């Protein structure tokens, strides 16, 4: 299965830019959906189910963990690959995120081609 759509949830505009650039470089055919925080992401997910979600943790209004909680409880069908993308690797955060079955990987910023390759591999597995 090929990566066709990716939802990027991040409040930082630079990080959004880097994600978009890297995804384009990895595969220009991939459709990119953007959300500033958890609430926006949930709104998008009501109509779309992307192949992957790249999720930041520290965001205003609704942070990554709050989003995961909502996503797990209110959605029956989840994106096959949800990858956390965060600026710091804190053990407790990682464990907390990986408790959700749909969270498949925990990445450190900035997003790289290699990260996307891993996500592709997870999707195919």
Report the distance separating Cα 3 and Cα 121, nearest Å: 10
Q: What's the min distance (Å) between Cβ of 13 and other proteins?
A: 8
Contact call for residue 86 and other proteins (CB under 8 A): yes
Contact call for residue 17 and other proteins (CB under 8 A): yes
Contact call for residue 94 and other proteins (CB under 8 A): no
Residue 44 neighbours by CB distance under 10 Å: 17
Going from the C-alpha of 88 to that of each of 38, 62, 91, 98, the distances in angstroms are 19, 19, 9, 15
With CB under 8 A as the contact rule, the residue among 37, 68, 119, 120 that binds other proteins is: 37
Contact criterion met (CB below 8 Å) for 90 and 68:
no
Contact call for residue 55 and other proteins (CB under 8 A): no
- Residues near other proteins (CB under 8 A) are 11-12, 14-15, 17-18, 21-22, 36-37, 57-61, 86-88, 90, 108-112
């Amino acid at each position: 299965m090929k990566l066709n759509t990716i939802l990027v949830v991040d409040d930082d505009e630079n990080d959004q830019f880097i994600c978009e650039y890297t995804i384009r470089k990895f595969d220009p055919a991939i459709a990119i959906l953007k959300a500033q925080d958890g609430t926006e992401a949930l709104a998008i997910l009501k109509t779309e189910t992307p192949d992957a979600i790249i999720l930041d943790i520290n965001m205003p209004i609704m942070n990554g963990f709050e989003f995961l909680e909502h996503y797990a409880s209110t959605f029956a069908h989840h994106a096959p690959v949800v990858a956390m993308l965060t600026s710091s690797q804190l053990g407790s955060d990682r464990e907390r995120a990986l408790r959700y079955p749909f969270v498949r990987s925990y990445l450190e910023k900035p997003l790289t081609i290699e990260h996307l390759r891993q996500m592709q591999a997870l999707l195919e597995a």
